[in-house]
Each structure stands twice: as structure tokens, then as C-alpha cells.
Structure 1
Amino acid sequence: MAGEASAEAARKSTQEVSEREPEFPVPGDERAAAFFDLDNTVMQGAALFHFGRGLYKRKFFDTRELARFAWQQAWFRLAGVEDPEHMQEARDSALSIVQGHRVSELQSIGEEIYDEYMAERIWPGTRALAQAHLDAGQRVWLVTAAPVEIATVIARRLGLTGALGTVAESVDGVYTGKLVGEPLHGPAKAEAVRALALAEGLDLRRCAAYSDSHNDIPMLSLVGHPYAINPDSKLRKHARRMDWRLRDYRTGRKAAKVGIPAAAGVGAVAGGTAAAIALHRKRR
């Protein structure tokens, strides 16, 4: 009798929890999608640094440049926040390094660098979150200040829909050393997500966004389901104040591991509002 009573109490408790927290992500909701920041949210450290390591190995630049990349990465790992000055230096260095190289060459090298330096640095917990959205039939995009070529490789390898990233200018397939517009950072991410949602017919109130940085509060505030992942101190405080969900995979907590196909259909690849809108027009 006591066992039956306990079982019934447990059943009711589970039912009450499920009633308080509806299933999410909602299966089959075609107007819902998920947007993931990359650095320190999906991947440990900065993708641009890992890419720089791979280019150094291929003699694209010298030891002094590598030391600069290493210092910026060390700051990012220890402080857990993005330093605008370091980010600008890293972008300037990367642009000067790739100037004069063919886009196709960097895309091919990016595939190799992912295997060498990035694959093992994907947070299993965040990967499981992205897979949950995919399993529910939702589209999933990376949204990052990293070069769109790097972001596209990572998105494809994780089986995601596509990526929004910073776009480097190229003429006749060769990098010029300049950017197209501004880096996809801070408010620019929110602007790009809003434009993509409009182009794809998404309802942002039913969408989710994930990030580690307070710089992405504008993007997180756009959606109905914001998540703070491995958050910096400012984002953690803001998330608690706003009652957003938090996940921290740096603390040694066991994170779910899932198997994800190495390749899947890659959808939109864009670098900001104009690119997202242009993509929609092209599809029409």
C-alpha cells in the first residue's frame, strides 16, 4: 500500500512539473528556430584563434603573430569575456593574413583546421541542445563575429542549418583585406537574426537563442526562449534578473553526449542584415 501511494505521489509530482514546464523545443513547430553564439557557447575558446593556429602551421604568418593570437586567446579563456580591443586586433590580423589568398583555398583549409583544432573543443552539452532543436524539426543557425567561412564549416560539421558570420570582402574569388560592412557583433547579431527571421517566416517569440556573453543580450532579448550558456558575470546577473535559463558546462557537471551526423543540408549563410535579406530574395 505504501509503495502504491509513493508511486502515485511521484506520478502526480511529475505531472505537475510537466504542466508547469511545457515540452521544449516543441516538435513540428516550423515557425520556431534556434540561434547559437559560437565562441565559448558552442566551442571552448575563440574560433578565430584556432583558425589562426592552423594558418600558422601552414606558414601563413610568423611566430610573432602567433604569440599575439595566443595572448588574446589566453585573455578570453581566463577572463571569460570578449575584450573589444583584442577582438579588433584579432580581426585586423586575420584580414591582413588572408589578403591575396583565394576564398576557395581558405574554405578548404578551414575543413582541415576544424578536424585538427576545433572538433574536440565543442561543448557536448551545447551540442546536445542544438541537436534537440534539430530532432524537433527546427532550424538551427550559428550567429558569430567569426568569419562566415569558419562558421559555415562548423555549422555543417555539426549538422546545423547554416551560419551568420562576419563577411570578408573578396573580388574575383580573392580576399581584399577588407570587411563587407561591420563585424557581426553585439547589436549587429540581433539585427541579423531579426532580418533572417523575417526572411524565413519565423516567429521570434517561439525561437530560442544561446550565448555566453553580455554583448549578446540584444540577441537574447529578441526571442521567447533565451539561454545563458557558460555566462560571463554580467550576463549571469542579467539572466537571473530576467529569469532566463542558465546552463554552465565549465563546472564539471555531466553534459549529455549525442551523436550528430557529420554533414547535413546547409541553409542560409549570411553576414548580416543585408545578406539575410538578399538570401531570401534569391530563394524567391
Structure 2
Amino acid sequence: MANLALFDLDHTLIPTDSDHEWGRFMVKLGIVDGASFARENDRFYADYKAGKLDIHAYLVAMLTPLAGRSRAQLKEWHDQYMHEVIRPAIVPAAMELVRQHRDAGDLCCVVTATNEFITAPIAEVFGVDNLIACEVETVDGDPHSAYTGRPTGTPSYKEGKILRTEAWLASLGKTWSDFGRSYFYSDSHNDIPLLERVTDPIATNPDDTLRAHAQAHGWRILELFQST
């Protein structure tokens, strides 16, 4: 029986927060108003770490700057972001973790609360074809058209990660019971709902709240970034 391997992204597979860093990158490029957006970006990030993020407000704030931009321009900016920010931060241990699951024939998926525009190229670097991320609305629903600057669908955040994962599995004609084991790697206490849903929860580079929860429940704790 096949296994299922789910991976959070930020501070789990990469030792940074791709959403927060993208916000800083937009400030650097002058895409957004520097001072006010930077303050808002930092406030949202603090709310996320505290477990009180208004995910809808955050998505609107992060996606609004994408509206009215050509997909070619956005790709150029994102390519630069990957080159300057993300690729230099990726550590071999994280790549190896994913590779082991892929080589074992596990069904792999990145499940993140960060939006799909930011995260799809990052999942690709890790060789993971399946991505569950917060969805970005496009003009007339055309996947190749411009972004409207608004989110769509159920955000993959907290309990929403369970809903989105189960919907994805259903689209494949599968349920949790079709897998011998199900793994989820995450650093964040925001992901406790999905961690509790799998057979093998792995607290990966965990925040203090998740570390305490993992220790209390006998969950495995994995450190990928000790040398970074």
C-alpha cells in the first residue's frame, strides 16, 4: 500500500517565510509603497506566528499588488526573487528529505498557507508536482490571464489544510484509508489540525508551541536547519 507525504513549506522545507520575504522583495523593487506595506507585512507575519492571522485580509493585501501586472512581468520578478532569496536559502537536508519520499514511491504534496503564485516555483525546485496553496483569482477564470488581486476558494490555513487536502485526494479518487501511512512535516502550531489527522506527524524545526505539543504527544521532532 502506498504512503502519503505532505510537507508544509515555510520554515519547514525552507528556513524562511516565502510570503513575508516576497512582501519585502516587493518593497525592494518599489512595486508597493515601502514604509506602509513593510509595516503591514510585518504585522501580518507577527499575527501568523501568534496564531491569530486574518487569512482573508492577508491574502488581499499580498495579492492586490499583482493585479494589473502582465504574467510575463510577474514571472520576471519571481525569477529574480527565486534567484536572490529562495534558492540560496534551500538546504541539502530538506531536498534529501523530499527525495527519500519520492524515491520510496510516496504520493508527495506541498500543503502551504502561502499563495500559489509565490509557492508553485518553489515546490517545483523540490520536485514536488502536487501543490495545495491559497488560490489566486484570475480574470474570467482563465489560468493564463492576469490576476485580479483577490483570493479564491478555501484558504489552506489551519483546518482549511484538512479540507483542501481531502478535496485533492477525492479528486484522485482516494481517501486517507488508501494509504498505509500518511506523513505531514510542519514547523507551525497553526498546522496542528492537519498534523493530528495523519498517522505520522513530524514537528519539523518546530516553533515553541508546536515543540511543546509534539513532546506532550510523543511526536517525532526533526531539525533540518541546525547548521544554518
TM bucket normalised to smaller:
0.7 to 0.9
Q: Deviations over 1:3-34 (max 9, x none)?
A: xxxxxxxxxxxxxxxxxxxxxxxxxx5x3221
Q: Which has the higher contact order (CA 8 A, sep 6+)?
A: 2
Aligned counterpart for 1:94 among listed residues 53, 62, 69: 62
Larger radius of gyration: 1
Superposed CA RMSD in Å reads 2.7
How far apart, CA to CA, are the structure 1 residues paired with 2:36 and 2:82?
20
How far apart, CA to CA, are the structure 2 residues paired with 1:229 and 1:47?
17
**When the two structures are superposed, what TM-score results if normalisation uses the length of structure 2?**
0.83
How far apart, CA to CA, are the structure 1 residues paired with 2:209 and 2:218?
14
Q: Is 1:198 paired with 2:164?
A: no
Partner of 1:234: 209
Q: Is 1:222 paired with 2:208?
A: no
Q: Is 1:55 paired with 2:26?
A: yes
1:1-284 alignment, distance < 5 Å? 31-68=2-39, 71-72=42-43, 75=46, 81-85=49-53, 90-172=58-140, 173-200=145-172, 201=174, 203-250=178-225, 252=226
How far residue 132 of structure 1 moved from its aligned partner, in angstroms, is 0.8
How far residue 123 of structure 1 moved from its aligned partner, in angstroms, is 4.2
How far apart, CA to CA, are the structure 2 residues paired with 1:166 and 1:140?
18
Q: Deviations over 1:104-125 (max 9, x none)?
A: 5424432331111011222433
SS in 2 for 1:81: helix
One-letter code aligned to 1:193? T
Relative to structure 1, the CA distance from residue 83 to residue 240 in structure 2 (aligned partners, 3 Å threshold; closer, same or farther) is closer
| 8 Å CA contact 2:27, 2:38 repeated in 1 | no
One-letter code aligned to 2:193? P
| 8 Å CA contact 1:39, 1:47 repeated in 2 | yes
| 8 Å CA contact 1:34, 1:207 repeated in 2 | yes
Q: Deviations over 1:205-257 (max 9, x none)?
A: 5121110111111111222121000112222222222221111235x3x59xx
SS in 2 for 1:119: helix
One-letter code aligned to 1:111? D
- Structure 2 runs not aligned, ≥5 long: none
Q: Deviations over 1:37-66 (max 9, x none)?
A: 111111222111222233333321122145
- Structure 1 runs not aligned, ≥5 long: 1-28, 256-284
SS in 1 for 2:170: helix
How many pairs were matched up?
Answer: 221
**When the two structures are superposed, what TM-score results if normalisation uses the length of structure 1?**
0.68
How far residue 192 of structure 1 moved from its aligned partner, in angstroms, is 1.2
How far residue 74 of structure 1 moved from its aligned partner, in angstroms, is 7.7
Identity of counterpart residues, as a percentage?
A: 29
SS in 1 for 2:148: strand
Relative to structure 1, the CA distance from residue 69 to residue 153 in structure 2 (aligned partners, 3 Å threshold; closer, same or farther) is farther
Relative to structure 1, the CA distance from residue 85 to residue 208 in structure 2 (aligned partners, 3 Å threshold; closer, same or farther) is closer
Q: Deviations over 1:60-109 (max 9, x none)?
A: 11221453266348848xxx935534866643321221122234542443
Partner of 1:4: none
How far apart, CA to CA, are the structure 2 residues paired with 1:67 and 1:223?
36
One-letter code aligned to 1:166? C
